[in-house]
Amino acid sequence: MPVKCQTIVTHIEEMAPKSLALEGDNTGWQVGDPGNPVEHVLLALDVGEQTVAEAVEVGAQLIVSHHPLIYKPLRSIRFDLPLGRILTQLIRSNIGVYSAHTNLDAAEYGVNTALANQLGLTDLGPLSPELEGFGRIGRLPEPVTFAEFIGSVKVALGIPGSRAGGPLNRMVSKVAICGGSGGDLWSKAAFAGADVYITGDLKYHTAQDILNAGMNFIDPGHFASERVVLEPLADYLKERIARAKVNVKLTVSRVDNDPFVFR
């Protein structure tokens, strides 16, 4: 019996229930028929025209993205604009899109756990009890200088550089993280006693506040701090598919790109 797209979605929502999503977040189906059969799933951080072309190339019937394709209500669909072209390509190719956004951020084994594991953190706990899974705090296996830690973060995330602030010779051990845009949570990291806070999209004044609170920071970018979830998500789905004894192929996108580059 063919596997339906909704079966894949059900597995995702068992890991990252939609109830965890922030109010107003367009987590869920973006386009497509949940009842369509699926033999190949493409996992991506974002859905762009290149992503759709990649899905067509590999023969995927479903794209699972982290960022919603449709974030704000549509007032029109114009074929001469990027979103309209993407939707047209998806519909013509009969490819569905499901987005797991802030529910995957908050899930116990979602974005932040994936980021923490990639960075080698241990003794993981929530950044703050009231935040559900938004953010994690943990420890390095042993204290290192901030300069050394910046280098290890770049290697772990596969990035050529990052924005960072604070004394380079400071010894750091306790690390707070929030994948994506977590600037608003910096005070939670400070109150938790973190030596360094890692998140993306930090603003100028937020960076000043972090330093004034006596905490260092690393901003590896939104893309790098979230894309780490795709491989663990693929592994989870492969395990669930194998358990069900069905044949569905999973591919992590090769065309996902950070819009920012270091020169």
Q: Tokens representing 45?
A: 């951080």
- In this model, does residue 125 exceed pLDDT 80? yes
- In this model, does residue 186 exceed pLDDT 90? yes
Per residue in 38-67, pLDDT (tens digit) is 999 999 999 999 999 999 999 999 999 999
Question: CA of 255: how far to CAs of 49, 115, 147, 191, 236, in Å?
Answer: 10, 20, 31, 39, 22
| CATH classification for the domain delimited by 111-225, as one of 3.40.1390.30, 3.10.105.10, 3.40.50.10800, 3.30.930.10 | 3.40.1390.30
Give the pLDDT band of residue 33 (cuts 50, 70, 90): very high
- 139-147 mean pLDDT: 99
Percent of the chain past pLDDT 90, that is, above it, reads 95
Which among 251, 168, 253 has a CA at the least distance from the CA of 217?
168
Domain boundaries, the chain: 5-105+229-250, 111-225
Per residue in 196-215, pLDDT (tens digit) is 999 999 999 999 999 999 99
- In this model, does residue 133 exceed pLDDT 90? no
Q: Tokens representing 154?
A: 């770049």
Q: For residue 129, what pLDDT is reported?
A: 79
Mean pLDDT of the residues in the chain: 97
Question: CA of 3: how far to CAs of 61, 228, 241, in Å?
Answer: 11, 27, 10
- 117-136 mean pLDDT: 90
Domains 5-105+229-250 and 111-225 fall in the same CATH topology: yes
Q: For residue 205, what pLDDT is reported?
A: 99
Q: How far apart are CA 74 and CA 154, in angstroms?
A: 38
Secondary structure (H, E, C), 61-76 = CEEEECCCCCCCCCCC
- 81-93 mean pLDDT: 97
Q: For residue 262, what pLDDT is reported?
A: 82
pTM: 0.96
Question: Which residue bears the tokens 């935040």?
Answer: 131
Per residue in 67-76, pLDDT (tens digit) is 999 999 999 9
Q: How far apart are CA 49 and CA 72, in angstroms?
A: 19
Percent of the chain past pLDDT 70, that is, above it, reads 100
DSSP sequence for 68-133:
-S--S--S---TTSHHHHHHHHHHHHT-EEEE--HHHHHSTTSHHHHHHHHTT-EEEEESSGGGTT
Q: For residue 4, what pLDDT is reported?
A: 98
- In this model, does residue 263 exceed pLDDT 90? no
CATH 3.30.1340.10 fits 5-105+229-250, yes or no: no
